[in-house]
Amino acid sequence: NPTRSRREEIILPLEPAKSPASSLLELPEPGPIDESELVAGISATSKPIELPETTPDKAVEGHHVLVTEAAPAASTAKPTTKGEPKEETDAVTTTTAKPLGIFDNIPEEPTVEVCDETSAPGRSKIYCSGRLLASVNLHHLFPDSKTFVDRPIKVNRTEDEIMADFETRFPPKNEDIDPEQLRAFVEQHFDQEGHELEKCDVPDWIPTPAAFGGITDSKMQAFALNLHNIWKELCRNIKPMVRDEPERFSLLHVPNNFIAPGGRFREFYYWDTYWIVKGLLASGMYETTRGMLENFGSIVERFGFIPNGGRVYYLQRSQPPLLTAMVYEYYEATRNKTFLFDMLPKLEKEFEFWSLNRNVTIDVDGVNHTIYQYRSEANVPRPESFREDSTMAATFPSKGRQQVFYRDIGSAAESGWDFSTRWFSNPDSKILLNIRTTEIAPVDLNAFLCYNLNIMSFFHSEFGNVNKERMWQDKYTSFKTTFRDVFYKPEAKGWYDYNLRTRQHNTDFFPSIAIPLFAGCFDQLSMRQSGDLLDRMIEMGALNLTGGIPTSLANHTQEQWDFPNGWSPLNHMVIEGMRKSNNPRLQQAAFSLAQRWVRANLHVFNLDHAMWEKYNVATNEARGGGGGEYEVQAGFGWSNGVVLDLLLTYGDRLTSEDSSPSNPASDGATASSMPSMPVAPGASTTASASSTSPLHLLLVLAFTIVNLW
């Protein structure tokens, strides 16, 4: 069984005096890590990677090439034919490989659009590329670049007619266009964003899910009910016109209702859905969950993979591969074998997408290892962030250098971490212009794929298909070795992203360090590995903040996937990874972190009457997060899902306020620094009940009666 269910969790003997978790906050402020203490791992001992002299290239037909995606050694790089296999003689070692600079000149490559007439027939000249898209953004018609590409074409108009009208009415140079006339043109031809979607009925929503009865703290229980209510607000149905006249829409049609993240994110998002599913399962909404997974099944059949989100402009990139894990969670909750049987070929197909299109083979200690990268092919601006991307790219001296930038930007969006210092590979200049996502082999992607292998084996075992079970298990076992050999750095006590150019691990803190625990891609019998990881996180100061785990310790980058933001999915994966480990110290730390995260979310919910997509975890009192290229969004699918899941996992122990003598499970570590919690808006009238009160018992009884009824 690939993961540890709640039932199987090792229950810790409580150590109220000085448990490892309670000591977390007593640590001094994190000091700088002395990198000299970290002996070079793989890179010091292994054969140097062979780098091409030229521009980044892609995996060739055979899909496995010896070292792709490396940066050019110098600005004098010669062009390489796309798809041409690299020869060892055509290579330089990393000692001469410099990071690609902003001013480096790179030869131009053929254009790869984010979508085109093949993938988005009848609308690509509007939603994927073209003069209208460029002009709307040049003249900053909308504060958010995403608005225009989400607006449906009005009924009885075609793309060709609109573009012909545009060419007739406006001068040939975009700069000469009158913005107000352009605005009138857009209003004349396009409906409002969101016009093609409607709120939906959620048939499997009931007012008081039975499982909430296990949440002992009444304020936490009220919080759960509030979040449960929000599912109805976030549920979306796609109007039939999208199926019938797809050329009018950037939205991809899916047959069933879905829960959207919220705010500007009106369509489905791939990896968000994992945590939405976790929350829906907590809410007992199995039908809605199944519908969403079936949507993904239909998308895989149509496109061969799951795009970043449900719009044509997302068709050249995916997001972290978590569909198999979603199906696993659903199956664990329902044991619906018919559904699983139907999904299996789609899961295999999705896995194939990653293994054939995102692979890279590297040589470590004379052994070739095939690992995976976030690596979009598109080398043009993202339409939903057209203005941001093209403005930035204008800094570069050549079209070729711009293309490299666009590919790295799209690849970072594929990671879900758009954007973060994690992808800025020039140590001297950690700014977005120096993004080099495609130079990096990311620890989380490889851990997720490792998880997929294990789950696939388990699924086949459920059908008694011994051959397939063994085949996937063998792949899992062998990939675990690869994963350890490439990503684990014992001297630095953890798993780290690996830079293909420098052959170095990035030992800065990112929560991705703990994703191997979440994904079960490590030696579960080794208490040492997991214990070391916790020590390392403590040493780095990653667990010092009352609001939760920050996304990095890189301050002042203004990127949303950096300090001081904490994201629900990352906090959840760290908590779950620690909880599912065999190590009692980590399990206690998991609870402590869950307590902080849920309390901080509740605090902000009471202040703002909103759940946010990200949080500022560094202030004394948590707040909605900031930074990045758009305003912080409310809703919010994955934040709600994470809290609901944690409330169910730790329902018997989580408390909304400081520990009381009657609650020895509280970690105590955060209690003094956590604000007291006001009553949730719309919360149940029992909000003041203590976790051990008779009122709670009455509530549990009431839940049971209501649900039985």
Cα(140)–Cα(128) distance, rounded to whole angstroms? 17
Contact residue for ligand LLGJG24Q among 250, 385, 454, 506 (CB under 6 A): 385
Contact between 308 and ligand LLGJG24Q per CB under 6 A:
yes
Contact residue for ligand LLGJG24Q among 71, 282, 300, 413 (CB under 6 A): 413
Report the residue number, 476 or 638, with the smaller CB distance to ligand LLGJG24Q. Answer: 638
Cα(469)–Cα(306) distance, rounded to whole angstroms? 24
- Find the catalytic residue in 272, 350, 418, 629: 418
Q: How far is the CB of 96 from ligand LLGJG24Q (least distance, A)?
A: 34
Residue 408 appears among annotated catalytic residues: no
Report the residue number, 382 or 489, with the smaller CB distance to ligand LLGJG24Q. Answer: 382
Q: How far is the CB of 551 from ligand LLGJG24Q (least distance, A)?
A: 11
Number of Cβ within 10 Å of residue 563's Cβ equals 22
Contact between 613 and ligand LLGJG24Q per CB under 6 A:
yes
**285, 231 in Cβ contact below 8 A?**
yes
**70, 56 in Cβ contact below 8 A?**
yes
DSSP symbols for 184-197? HHHHHHBPPTTTTE
Cα(466)–Cα(457) distance, rounded to whole angstroms? 9
Report the residue number, 350 or 384, with the smaller CB distance to ligand LLGJG24Q. Answer: 384
Report the residue number, 385 or 581, with the smaller CB distance to ligand LLGJG24Q. Answer: 385
Number of residues that bind ligand LLGJG24Q (CB under 6 A): 17
Contact residue for ligand LLGJG24Q among 148, 190, 271, 498 (CB under 6 A): 271
**340, 462 in Cβ contact below 8 A?**
yes
Report the residue number, 406 or 522, with the smaller CB distance to ligand LLGJG24Q. Answer: 406
Closest CA to 590 of 525, 527, 659, 534: 534
Contact between 252 and ligand LLGJG24Q per CB under 6 A:
no
Report the residue number, 576 or 657, with the smaller CB distance to ligand LLGJG24Q. Answer: 576
- Find the catalytic residue in 613, 629, 645, 657: 613
What is the token pair recorded at 230?
A: 């929000």
Report the residue number, 297 or 310, with the smaller CB distance to ligand LLGJG24Q. Answer: 310
Cα(558)–Cα(16) distance, rounded to whole angstroms? 40
**196, 693 in Cβ contact below 8 A?**
no
- 566, HSE (Cβ side, Cα atoms, 13 Å): 30
Q: How far is the CB of 442 from ligand LLGJG24Q (least distance, A)?
A: 14
Q: Which stretch binds ligand LLGJG24Q (CB under 6 A): 186-194, 264-272, 575-583, 650-658?
A: 264-272
Contact residue for ligand LLGJG24Q among 109, 350, 384, 439 (CB under 6 A): 384
Please enumerate in sequence order all residues whose Cβ is within 8 A of that of 636, keeping only pairs 6 or more positions apart, or say none: 261, 262, 263, 568, 611, 612, 613
Contact between 389 and ligand LLGJG24Q per CB under 6 A:
no
Q: How far is the CB of 313 from ligand LLGJG24Q (least distance, A)?
A: 9
Tell me which H or E stretch contains 566: strand 565-567
Strand 197-199 and strand 235-238: the pairing is antiparallel
Report the residue number, 209 or 310, with the smaller CB distance to ligand LLGJG24Q. Answer: 310
x/- map, 344-383, ligand LLGJG24Q, by CB under 6 A: --------------------------------------x-
Report the residue number, 378 or 413, with the smaller CB distance to ligand LLGJG24Q. Answer: 413
Amino acid in position 324: T
Contact between 20 and ligand LLGJG24Q per CB under 6 A:
no
Q: How far is the CB of 265 from ligand LLGJG24Q (least distance, A)?
A: 5
Cα(550)–Cα(643) distance, rounded to whole angstroms? 17
Bridge partners (DSSP) of residue 244 are: none
Number of Cβ within 10 Å of residue 303's Cβ equals 14
**445, 320 in Cβ contact below 8 A?**
yes
Phi, psi of 207 (to 5 degrees): -60, -35
Report the residue number, 384 or 657, with the smaller CB distance to ligand LLGJG24Q. Answer: 384
Burial 425-452 (b: 16+ CB within 10 A, else e): bbeeebebebbbbbbbbbbbbbbbbbbb
Number of Cβ within 10 Å of residue 651's Cβ equals 19
Q: Which stretch binds ligand LLGJG24Q (CB under 6 A): 174-182, 268-276, 491-499, 550-558?
A: 268-276
Report the residue number, 413 or 533, with the smaller CB distance to ligand LLGJG24Q. Answer: 413
Cα(206)–Cα(212) distance, rounded to whole angstroms? 12
Q: Site residues for ligand LLGJG24Q, window 508-537 (CB under 6 A)? A: none
Please enumerate in sequence order all residues whose Cβ is within 8 A of that of 168, keeping only pairs 6 or more positions apart, or say none: none
Q: How far is the CB of 624 from ligand LLGJG24Q (least distance, A)?
A: 14
Contact between 406 and ligand LLGJG24Q per CB under 6 A:
no
**483, 447 in Cβ contact below 8 A?**
yes
Contact between 416 and ligand LLGJG24Q per CB under 6 A:
yes
SS3 255: coil
Q: How far is the CB of 407 from ligand LLGJG24Q (least distance, A)?
A: 14
- Distance between alpha carbon 645 and the CA centroid of its chain, in Å? 17
Contact between 489 and ligand LLGJG24Q per CB under 6 A:
no
SS3 654: coil
Cα(127)–Cα(159) distance, rounded to whole angstroms? 10
Contact residue for ligand LLGJG24Q among 269, 483, 488, 650 (CB under 6 A): 269
Contact between 113 and ligand LLGJG24Q per CB under 6 A:
no
**700, 213 in Cβ contact below 8 A?**
yes
Q: Which stretch binds ligand LLGJG24Q (CB under 6 A): 53-61, 128-136, 265-273, 391-399?
A: 265-273
Q: How far is the CB of 114 from ligand LLGJG24Q (least distance, A)?
A: 10
Q: How far is the CB of 93 from ligand LLGJG24Q (least distance, A)?
A: 35
Q: How far is the CB of 514 from ligand LLGJG24Q (least distance, A)?
A: 18
Q: How far is the CB of 415 from ligand LLGJG24Q (least distance, A)?
A: 8
Instruction: Work out whether the CA dihedral 530, 534, 536, 537 comes out positive or negative.
Output: positive
Q: How far is the CB of 303 from ligand LLGJG24Q (least distance, A)?
A: 16
**687, 699 in Cβ contact below 8 A?**
no
Closest CA to 80 of 50, 103, 110, 45: 110
Closest CA to 68 of 303, 275, 360: 360
Report the residue number, 104 or 408, with the smaller CB distance to ligand LLGJG24Q. Answer: 408
Report the residue number, 178 or 233, with the smaller CB distance to ligand LLGJG24Q. Answer: 233
Contact residue for ligand LLGJG24Q among 418, 444, 469, 562 (CB under 6 A): 418
What is the token pair recorded at 177?
A: 């266009």
Contact between 272 and ligand LLGJG24Q per CB under 6 A:
yes
What is the token pair recorded at 166?
A: 């545009």
Q: How far is the CB of 561 from ligand LLGJG24Q (least distance, A)?
A: 7
Residue 116 appears among annotated catalytic residues: no
DSSP symbols for 389-435? HHHHHTTSSSHHHHHHHHHHHHHHHHHT--S-GGGB--TT--SGGGB
Contact between 146 and ligand LLGJG24Q per CB under 6 A:
yes
Residues classed as catalytic: 418, 613
Binding residues vs ligand LLGJG24Q (CB under 6 A): 146, 261, 265, 269, 271-272, 308-309, 382, 384-385, 413, 416, 418, 613, 629-630
